[in-house]
């Protein structure tokens, strides 16, 4: 993410460091992939222990009209690709819990 700064009439751009917590808070609608392939779409982020970082991602699996929802700890997230709207999990999907 570039930020414009001005110093003595010169305008330059600098990059902000990547902030995983920022993107975890704003990842609703992102696709979620596991090492076995696509898993679903982030339907909501859930906070418990902190207000600036979610603890879980509620992921809708099986398509848009599916009732199946998996609640995934953010500790399973291996990568966040904001431009692609993608979250990649680093642990097997069988370790994830299901919610109704």
Q: What is the rounded average pLDDT of the residues 4-20?
A: 59
Length of the chain: 100
Domains of the chain, CATH where assigned: 19-99 (2.30.30.240)
Q: What is the pLDDT of residue 55?
A: 95
**Sequential DSSP letters for 12-69:** EEEEPPP-HHHHHHT-TT-EEEETTEEEEEEEEEE-SS-SSS-SEEEEE-SSTT---E
What pLDDT score does 5 carry? 43
pLDDT at 78 over 60: yes
Statement: the pTM of the whole predicted model exceeds 0.85: no
């Amino acid at each position: 993410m570039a930020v414009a700064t001005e110093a003595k009439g010169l305008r330059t751009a600098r990059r902000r460091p990547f902030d995983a917590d920022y993107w975890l808070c704003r990842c609703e609608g992102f696709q979620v992939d596991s090492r076995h392939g696509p898993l679903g779409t982030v339907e909501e982020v859930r906070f418990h222990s902190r207000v600036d970082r979610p603890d879980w991602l509620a992921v809708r699996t099986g398509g848009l009209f599916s009732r199946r929802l998996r609640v995934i700890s953010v500790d399973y997230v291996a990568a966040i690709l904001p431009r692609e709207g993608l979250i990649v999990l680093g642990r097997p999907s069988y370790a994830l819990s299901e919610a109704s």
